[in-house]
Amino acid sequence: MAELSTIARPYAQGLWKAVEQRKETAQAAQLQEALEVLSKVTREPQVAALFNDPKVTDDQMFELLAGVLGKDVPAELSGLLRTVIENGRLCALPEIAVQFRALKNESEGVADAYIESAYALNKKEVEQLLACLEKKFPGKKLNPIVTINKDLIGGVCIRVGDQVLDGSVRARLAQMQQALTA
């Protein structure tokens, strides 16, 4: 089977083109939120079990997922959801959400900064970190996404796009171990 990112790319690009053609890029944030909700729902084991259940029709699956979003399902998302269900690609929905977010961010000149910290960071610390990162990534407005990872021991690990800046104690210890055993 093809990799999920390969499967998801045309769906995300198609949804983004539909938003651009209608010149409603403001609606992109609403679509992104809805895609993220659907992504979380489709990761649930009970829902994932329904994907391959022959007793569940495509219409029933659509109604289930559209029902999660409520009454205001945008037409573009409704069309995408029906197409994904009909093609048996619901497992790709989380990756579609990731790629759509990347397309939206790219058009807005924004980049997600995934910050892993060994401890909780307060607002001031995040702002200081972003100020330093903006010098490293000029021309990009950074959107911080902070998570806590106790395995880091201390420090932070930051990922912006495909660049990783690992200033964690765990990484430093791994470097020291490598140097000592080499």
pLDDT digits (tens, 9 = 90+) for 72-109: 788 888 999 999 999 989 989 999 999 999 999 888 88
Q: What is the pLDDT of residue 46?
A: 87
Same domain, 171 and 94: no
Query: For the chain, percent helix, then strand, then coil, each to nearest 5?
Result: 65, 15, 25
Q: What pLDDT sits at residue 15?
A: 92
Q: Facing residues of 148 across strands?
A: 117
Domain end, chosen from 106, 126, 152, is at 106
- Least confident span in 2-6, 24-28, 67-71, 127-131: 24-28
Residue 71 has pLDDT above 80, yes or no: no
Q: Number of folded domains in the chain? A: 2
Specify the pTM: 0.77
Domain CATH for 135: 3.40.30
Residues 59 and 80 in one domain: yes
Residue 129's domain comprises 110-181
- Counting other chains too, the contacts that 135-142 makes at CB distance below 8 Å and 24 or more residues apart are 136/165, 137/111, 139/109, 140/109, 140/110, 140/111, 141/108, 141/109, 141/110, 141/111, 142/110, 142/111, 142/112, 142/113
Among positive and negative, which fits the CA dihedral 121, 122, 128, 134?
A: positive
Residues 8 and 96 in one domain: yes
- Please check whether residues 162 and 177 belong to one and the same domain: yes
Share of the chain above pLDDT 90, in %: 49
Q: For residue 180, name the pLDDT band (cuts at 50, 70, 90).
A: very high
Q: Do 91 and 123 lie in a common domain?
A: no
